[in-house]
Amino acid sequence: MVHGLTGGIRPYLALSLLCLALYLPGLAALPPMDRDESRFIQATRQMLQSGDFIRIQFQDEMRAKKPAGAYWLQAASVDALSHPASNQVWPYRLPSALAAWAAVLMTFAFGRSLIGERPALLAGVLLASSLMLTAEAHQAKTDAILLACVVAAQGVLARFYVSGQAREKASGGGCGSSAPTTAASLMAPGTLEAAIFWIAQGVGILIKGPIVPLISLLTVAALWGADRNIRWFVSLRPLLGSVVAIAIAAPWFVAVSSATGGAFLGEAVKGDLLPKLLGAQESHGGFPGWYLLLAAGIFWPGSLLLWPAVTKLWGQRGRLAFRVLLAWAIPTWILFELIPTKLPHYVLPAFPALALMVAALACEGLEVFRHRAAKVWYVVWTLIGFTLAAAVVVLPIKLGNGFDAATIPAAIGIVLATLLPAALALMNRPATAALALALTAVATYPVIFQGVLPSLDRMFLSRGVARIVQTIGSDGPVAAAGYSEPSLVFLVGTDTRFVNGAGAAGHLAAHPRALVVVTDRELPAFTQEAAKLGLALEQFGQVDGINYSRGKPTSLAVLGVKAP
């Protein structure tokens, strides 16, 4: 079945259809998902509103977390497909979804020259279906776009390494790496591919600072340490290429430094980079090895084959393709394990290399996939799918509008789609199991991202508040006391103000026809100050639920001055 998909344009079409089925559902239905996404889309909106595409602002505050690249892509999408006054979030997310799709296609394109068409196709399936990439494709942030830059750069780097080392070996000057390479990998990459590498470096810097160059540098350093040979890298024209990368990234950095008097770069280093390196920023901490524990979930459903394959990866280091893929994946993974600040998406840049190696070993049907330990893991792995199936039924009861009978067949479908690849793996058919994981993802993610998550009203408090505000109308900026979620700014308006309880009462005194949002914690101070100011209050609605950023129950009252 896999062989029938590997010729011509068919694998690209098959992977594109898979990405469409996974990344499109929920793209428009999901409200802003977390604080980071909300800050991104609001800052992009303000770029469009102000016409200032150099400085990055969230309300009146400089946002020095990331460079401007992702904001520009989002702004272009919104300008072409929507309007900054609209609260539709999907145009802001579209660049992430397209970048995730591009990363999958490029993984196949580069992989076919490294490990062959059949395993490269399965690698595309594993990457496209991963929970982490699917989640990032649904969020207007940098990480899916960063992954596309990483694959473009690392794929070219791998091609140059394999081609250069294979030529040296063929001429008798090899480095000791003994492994067959595909015919395509022996064809020397040229100037165009070298240009792609350096352009990806420059664009990557504009997306997320030094991450792409750092990953490539670690890969080159690992290969040099293993081979004591770096002649192949000269073919990438590093001096000229560095000029190209700098020419792409430097103009904006110069412009933003000039526009902010150097404050942007200073804040980016002191306020964002150093805190992540020196401690667990914003309580996002974890111990070394934390990502290894998470891999079963964030690489799911591909984690079915990941753990059995991992035990054999190091033994494949003599093969040129595996050598460069290991040099890509291992240092990248170790880097993020050592950084104190940990978020699940940080290790996403290692996923394409892991997917390629796992797919190659699955196609070779190694004994490791038939070991007793592997079969125990296949059974344990199904528990993740069963958990997701249970969540489809339980979450609407806990955080939505109650039990929904439609969730039962959806949950059964997830269970069956989970059992199929597990059964194939138990039957010693790892390659077919890898292909079947596409069905597992298609049965699971659209249900979650389109059907379940958008219905969880108790989790998306800002959306509930925005509905009330839009129904009642606020003649003046909305003020929020005790609730400072960035999503409220995007959904209610850029001029939304964050105050305390007494400040909310003062805001109503100054803007009698405006609305305020007050948490139950700030309500006593608000009502006390309102009484002092002689305000007659009216409550227009209440939103109860969980503030998912803090994990605490929250009750929000939407109030205003009672009309005479």
Same domain, 335 and 398: no
Q: Give the residue from 99, 103, 93 showing the smallest Cα distance to 139.
A: 93
Same domain, 181 and 302: yes
Same domain, 427 and 471: no
Residue 331 to residues 223, 308, 336: CA-CA distances in angstroms? Answer: 11, 20, 9
Q: Report the alpha-carbon distance of residue 60 to residue 77 in Å, rounded.
A: 24
How far the first Cα of the chain sits from its last, in Å, is 73
Task: Give the domain-ending residue among 330, 347, 363.
Answer: 363
Residue 157: the pLDDT is 98
In a domain? residue 85: no
Task: Give the domain-ending residue among 435, 455, 475.
Answer: 455
Residue 184: the pLDDT is 42
CATH number at residue 522: 3.40.190
In a domain? residue 39: no
CB 204 within 8 A of CB 153: yes
CB 204 within 8 A of CB 146: yes
In a domain? residue 84: no
Same domain, 389 and 530: no
In a domain? residue 4: no
At which residue do the structure tokens 């000039």 appear?
A: 258
Total number of domains in the chain: 3
In degrees, rounded to 5, the angle at the alpha carbon of residue 96 between the alpha carbons of residues 94 and 101 is 95
Same domain, 307 and 181: yes
Same domain, 412 and 499: no
In a domain? residue 7: no
Same domain, 178 and 323: yes
Q: Report the alpha-carbon distance of residue 298 to residue 175 in Å, rounded.
A: 36
- Looking only at the bridges linking them, the beta strands covering 61-62 and 479-481 are unpaired
Q: Give the residue from 83, 84, 81 showing the smallest Cα distance to 42.
A: 84
Same domain, 358 and 374: no
Same domain, 468 and 428: no
Same domain, 437 and 481: no
In a domain? residue 53: no
In a domain? residue 88: no
Q: Taking the CB of residue 413, how many other CB atoms lie within 10 A of it?
A: 17
Task: Give the domain-ending residue among 363, 390, 415.
Answer: 363
pTM of the model: 0.94
Question: Residue 9 contacts by C-beta under 8 Å, 6 or more apart in sequence?
Answer: none
Residue 182: the pLDDT is 47
Label residue 339 exposed, middle or buried (CB < 10 Å: 0-12, 13-18, 19+): middle
Q: Taking the CB of residue 277, how many other CB atoms lie within 10 A of it?
A: 12
Residue 279: the pLDDT is 55
| 400: containing domain | 367-455
| Predicted confidence (pLDDT) per residue in 390-399, tens digit | 999 999 999 9
Residue 4: the pLDDT is 62
Residue 284: the pLDDT is 59
In a domain? residue 501: yes
Same domain, 314 and 220: yes
pLDDT by residue, tens only, the chain of 564 residues: 555 666 789 999 999 999 999 999 999 999 998 899 999 999 999 999 999 999 999 999 999 889 999 999 999 999 999 999 999 999 999 999 999 999 999 999 999 999 999 999 999 999 999 999 999 999 999 999 999 999 999 999 999 999 999 887 776 654 444 344 444 444 678 899 999 999 999 999 999 999 999 999 999 999 999 999 999 999 999 999 999 999 999 999 999 999 998 888 888 777 666 666 665 555 556 778 899 999 999 999 999 999 999 999 999 999 999 999 999 999 999 999 999 889 999 999 999 999 999 999 999 988 889 999 999 999 999 999 999 999 999 999 999 999 999 999 999 999 999 999 999 999 999 999 999 999 999 999 999 999 999 999 999 999 999 999 999 999 999 999 999 999 999 999 999 999 999 999 999 999 999 999 999 999 999 999 999 999 999 999 999 999 877 778 999 999 999 977
